[in-house]
Amino acid sequence: MTLLEQSLCLLKGISPEAEIRLRHVGITSCRQLSENADLYFSPNHANRIRESFNEWTLARSCGLVDWEISHLPSGHRVRALFDYWADALFYDIETDGTNSTSCITCISTIHNGEACSFWRGHNLTDFLGEWAKAKILVSFNGKRFDTPIVCRAFGLTSIPAQIDLMDEAAHYGYRGGLKKIEQQIGFSRKNSICIDGQTAICFWNDYVKRQSNDSLESLLLYNQEDVLSLVVLAKKLLKLSIENTLIIDN
């Protein structure tokens, strides 16, 4: 049984708290809840649960991952990653400025355990191959920053389902930038040369001005560690999502 099949809070009217209560009385799957909803809820509520289950079954058969993610409560959307890990693209961009009109300098990705880097003037457009394979984009503040810039830069109009880990982390009290949250969850970067996004801009400018391979290497390493941090954070949030739920995560 997949993790989403066990995620009762995927169905309409079932909160994460209700999910725990239901699992403790033996309801272990969305299908089981749909079939026994009348035992635990009013007729109207039970009908909504059954309708929601039928919608989800159809959405899943059609590969509509976005439907599944959008119907999970905040803080629990990371559960979709367990079922679709091989189809999830963890990614982060760096730009030559700090606003929405800045140009992309490099993009780092992790897709099914494989890390890649793409940078302007070399192989930046190859990133589109990774984008095309993804069913889920995983980022930190990507809905507001990374994804709009990528769509504008490449003229993209089709966007895969998205999980923004900044929103998911906030549900558990992790707020602020990615590096602040890294400290809270115990993630330590191997590379400490590039300490923030502004320094990343300086590294790019130095690379362009002097063709400094050292600056480019430092920028790419910083970008790569951002993406590795996303993977670590996603796993931490997934663990928090299913704590005390009796969900089997294997």
Per-residue pLDDT of the chain (250 residues; tens, 9 = 90+): 899 999 999 999 999 999 999 999 999 999 999 999 999 999 999 999 999 999 999 999 999 999 999 999 999 999 999 999 999 999 999 999 877 788 999 999 999 999 999 999 999 999 999 999 999 999 999 999 999 999 999 999 999 999 999 999 999 999 999 999 999 998 888 766 666 778 899 999 999 999 999 999 999 999 999 999 999 999 999 999 999 898 875 5
Write down the domain spans for the chain.
Answer: 3-62, 82-238
- CATH architecture designation of domain 3-62: Orthogonal Bundle (1.10)
What confidence score (pLDDT) does residue 194 get? 61
- Calpha distance 135→148 (Å, rounded): 17
What confidence score (pLDDT) does residue 193 get? 62
Q: Tell me which residue of 191, 176, 190, 174 sits closest to 233, measured CA to CA.
A: 174
Could you say which of 3.40.50.1820, 3.30.1360.230, 3.10.150.10, 3.30.420.10 is the CATH number of the domain covering 82-238? 3.30.420.10
What confidence score (pLDDT) does residue 250 get? 52
- Calpha distance 243→139 (Å, rounded): 23
What confidence score (pLDDT) does residue 72 get? 98
